[in-house]
Structure 1
């Protein structure tokens, strides 16, 4: 018998915590609730949930700090639900490691849809190790090659940067990088696109698990969230936007690999 999917709800308001528990329970999750960030962190450590929801304004440790600490011990999908609707709050939540940010009051169907979209994306592997960082072509567009990683996976390569979708491993010159799911998926998308420009709207839809048909709505906050993810990705890669080694900005449009 399959083990039940687990979710942790970290919310100091009892009514909202109960509502979230009911919504996730109807989606097939076994739900554990906590009223503080400290207690929620311990639940995540104990149960290793697939999904964790967070409030920001909680007594003691706030949601931003809680998200950062959760991200050091778990690859759980983190959804922040908060009455704070300023763009800076959403960006700060994403920078803290959240996968999504939903404003309160929220619609249960929207939460279910957001969670379903996240679950269509593979989980980020945080314990893998690259064994063979050789055979790269520094000046070429992405190269597909077989790598000795204990499996016959396909690696995307560009100037010493290597990525495997199968193992969810990314490395630069043999050193593994710790990326969030969104950062990994954006980097994989850019590597596969090569020199083709990927617009911010295209990347936002990709993160939501949707394909572009030309009629979808992508908000300014969605586009700004992509900018934050790319900025975090560049920081972890150790490159400067002014002199990029891997990802260059196409002003007013989006991003693509360097030549």
Structure 2
């Protein structure tokens, strides 16, 4: 699970980062709203948003994201704890609102609940020719037979399947597979792509040299 954190308080931000990472979640922390500029949302599972950011109110960020059609779950974490303030946050598009101070265990539990809710809304299966993908369960079938993929192999296949017949560049795949921090290196993608081809059939993935990869029926 990949989480974006917007929190200006140094001690609280570091405590949240440590708690999430101990639970096996990856997290990228921004202390100002500048981190939202040019934000690539693909591959992000949830956002933790403090409303009291320097120079830009977090509520304005939330409004802008929703007006732009950004559907990633957002949990507000804020000292603005009065009922009208919480209702305003939810009305503006927050999926959850956790007043400060809070217990880390509750924060993590709510994050996991958001992730489960998002997964339930996803399609049960995608069908591309005789290839079937269950994104919620990380399962794949070829010609009706189950195929075992590694985590990276499934991420690659899912990224291609989200845009069937479209060409996805290697750099875009690198960002999708590792949305927080540096993108996955091209040489690593090539290794996983080779293994994926071997498992689902090399003819299903077309390589356009210098352009990217395309999943075909």
Superposed CA RMSD in Å reads 2.5
List aligned pairs for 1:59-98, cutoff 5 A.
59-71=54-66, 72=68, 74-98=70-94
Deviation at 1:47, TM superposition (A): 5.9
- Whether the 8 Å CA contact 1:53–1:80 is kept in 2: the answer is yes
Q: 1:114 aligned to 2:110? A: yes
> Which range moved further: 83-92 or 25-34?
25-34
Q: Distance in 2 between matches of 1:63 and 1:50?
A: 19
* Residue 97 (structure 2) aligns with: 101
Q: 1:73 to 1:20 in 2, by over 3 A?
A: farther
- Contact kept? 1:32, 1:43, Cα under 8 Å: no
Determine the structure 2 residue equivalent to 1:57: 52
Contact persistence 1:82–1:104 (CA under 8 A): yes
Change (3 A) 1:25 1:104: same
Q: Which moved more, 1:46-55 or 1:27-36?
A: 46-55
Q: Distance in 1 between matches of 2:58 and 2:43?
A: 18
Aligned to 1:38: 34
Q: Do the aligned residues in 1 keep the contact of 2:90 with 2:96 (CA within 8 Å)? A: yes
What is the total number of aligned residue pairs between the two structures?
Answer: 124
**CA 1:112 to 1:42, structure 2 compared with 1: closer, same or farther past 3 Å?**
same
How much does 1:26 deviate?
2.1
| Bigger helix share | 2
CA contact (8 A) 2:41 2:72 kept: no
- Mapped to 2, the partners of 1:95 and 1:66 lie a distance apart of 14
Provide the C-alpha distance between the structure 2 equivalents of 1:59 and 1:36, rounded to a whole number of angstroms: 6
Farther off after superposition, 98-107 or 41-50: 41-50
Deviation >6 Å, runs of 4+: none
Q: Which residue of 1 aligns with 2:138?
A: none
Matched-pair contact (CA < 8 Å) for 1:38–1:66: no
2 CA distance for matches of 1:29 and 1:37?
22
Which structure would you say has the larger RCO, counting Cα contacts within 8 Å and 6 or more residues apart? 2
1:222-237 map, 5 Å: none
Deviations 1:152-174 (A, max 9, x none): xxxxxxxxxxxx9759xxxxxxx
The answer as to 2:5 corresponding to 1:6 is no
CA offsets 1:133-182 (integer angstroms, 9 cap, x no match): xxxxxxxxxxxxxxxxxxxxxxxxxxxxxxx9759xxxxxxxxxxxxxxx
| Secondary structure class of the residue paired with 2:56 | coil
- Between the aligned partners of 2:41 and 2:117, the Cα distance in structure 1 is 24
| Partner Cα separation in structure 1 for residue 92 and residue 9 of structure 2 | 22
Q: TM-score, normalised by structure 1?
A: 0.43
Closer, same or farther: CA 93–18 of 1 in aligned 2, 3 Å:
same
Contact 1:81 1:102 in 2 (8 A): yes
1:13 is displaced (CA, Å) by 0.8
3-state SS of the aligned residue for 2:98? strand
Residue 73 of structure 1: CA displacement? 5.1
CA distance in structure 2 between the aligned counterparts of 1:104 and 1:62, rounded to whole angstroms? 17
